[in-house]
Amino acid sequence: MILVTGGAGFIGSNFVLDWLAHRDEPVLNLDKLTYAGNRRNLASLDGDARHVFVRGDIGDAALVARLLAEHRPRAVINFAAESHVDRSIHGAEDFVQTNVVGTFRLLEAVRAHWLARPEAERAAFRFLHVSTDEVYGSLAPDAPAFTERHPYEPNSPYSASKAASDHLVRAWHHTHGLPVLTTNCSNNYGPFHFPEKLIPLMIVNALAGKPLPVYGDGLQVRDWLYVGDHCSAIRRVLEAGRVGETYNVGGWNEQTNIAIVKTICALLDQLRPRADGQSYATQITHVKDRPGHDRRYAIDARKIESDLGWRPAETFDSGIRKTVRWFLDHPEWVAEVQSGAYRDWVQAQYQGAA
């Protein structure tokens, strides 16, 4: 069995579904079910004995210790995190509590579990920590992409909290010998993406006839990774990654935000044309840029390719088409996650587009 934390969130739920689609090894899924955690993401696993779901917090040391003792997982994959930059700007405490304090408590519980195991189980055990390229800071337009040796220069409360968690994981390996692996991924997109992030927000707003809010000039550059590719990368790192190493996971797809939005509009024009015949691009609205907005991220993913033989299967064109199609085919999922609290958040955050 493996333990997945944060397995009802966007990337975590995709990973759980991907894992059980490829193998029969059971998953113990621990998720706090905050606003971005959604049990409906895992509805297809209802009644599947390979999936054990527990609602709980990685910061609950007693709960984590009990689950580890009862289920004796051979690996822990830590997705649990607060991850929205804008929310961290408006209130950083939840990010510090989950991403820093929570990771610390999880590491301590896992270390105790690992030390109590027989020698053969200790040797085979892995703690895989899933992190972000945002810990590296911002790149100049012509600068080389982030490698695993790039210095940490986080610029938002979110990325600072994730950087702290990465440092804790590294320290628990070097100080205590815990067999860890770390992955730093670029921007994910795909099914079950909570509609506060750029791509799902644009799809949902476009279909609802609402403004498509783009920060500043929209020329911020990100590398985009289809979530299914991210899942396959994590499986590969868990299988063959070298203990103590970090692996950057990217999609080799640098795009500006405005290009992303226009691509989504063009796809929707094809797949779900507006009744008035106009393009969804007419709904694009530029709003005031957010504080400390990093200008460019780019991942150099050559290490995971050369060491582990992994490359993304999706191009951006294929991945974004799959994503738009998924949102078109699952309006009931979108309706359920758009609670009053969510609507209030979007209205406050993007008030320039109201």
Nearest Cα residue to 82 out of 70, 73, 93 = 93
**Burial letters 294-324, b for 16+ CB under 10 A, else e:** bebbbbbbebbeeebebebebebeebbbbbb
Which two three-digit tokens encode residue 139?
């790149």
The one catalytic residue in 57, 134, 223, 300 is: 134
C-alpha to C-alpha distance for 209 and 352, rounded to whole angstroms: 16
**Between vectors from CA 288 to CA 287 and to CA 290, what angle results, nearest 5°?**
120
Note whether 230 and 79 are within 8 A (CB). no
**Between vectors from CA 260 to CA 259 and to CA 263, what angle results, nearest 5°?**
85
Note whether 36 and 6 are within 8 A (CB). no
Q: Average pLDDT for residues 69-80, to the nearest whole number?
A: 98
158 is catalytic: yes
Residue 350 has pLDDT above 60, yes or no: no
For the chain, the domains span: 2-193+226-252+293-314
314 is catalytic: no
**Higher per-residue confidence, 247 vs 340:** 247
Which two three-digit tokens encode residue 200?
């799902």
Which two three-digit tokens encode residue 199?
């791509």
The one catalytic residue in 31, 82, 86, 158 is: 158
CATH class of the domain whose range is 2-193+226-252+293-314: alpha beta
Q: Which residues contact 272 (CB under 8 A, 6 or more apart)?
A: 207, 328
Q: Average pLDDT for residues 17-46, to the nearest whole number?
A: 93
Query: How high is the pLDDT of residue 163?
Result: 97
134 is catalytic: yes
- The predicted-structure confidence for 329-349, as pLDDT tens digits, reads as follows 999 999 888 865 545 654 565
- The predicted-structure confidence for 137-148, as pLDDT tens digits, reads as follows 999 999 999 999
Q: Average pLDDT for residues 49-65, to the nearest whole number?
A: 97
Residue 115 has pLDDT above 50, yes or no: yes
Query: How high is the pLDDT of residue 347?
Result: 59
Query: What are phi and psi for residue 129, nearest 5 degrees?
Result: -105, 120
pLDDT, averaged across the chain: 93
Return the number of other C-beta atoms located less than 10 Å from residue 258's C-beta: 17
> Counting beta carbons within 10 angstroms of the beta carbon of residue 50, is it exposed (0 to 12), middle (13 to 18) or buried (19 or more)?
middle
Which three-class secondary structure state does DSSP give residue 252? coil
The one catalytic residue in 133, 223, 300, 314 is: 133
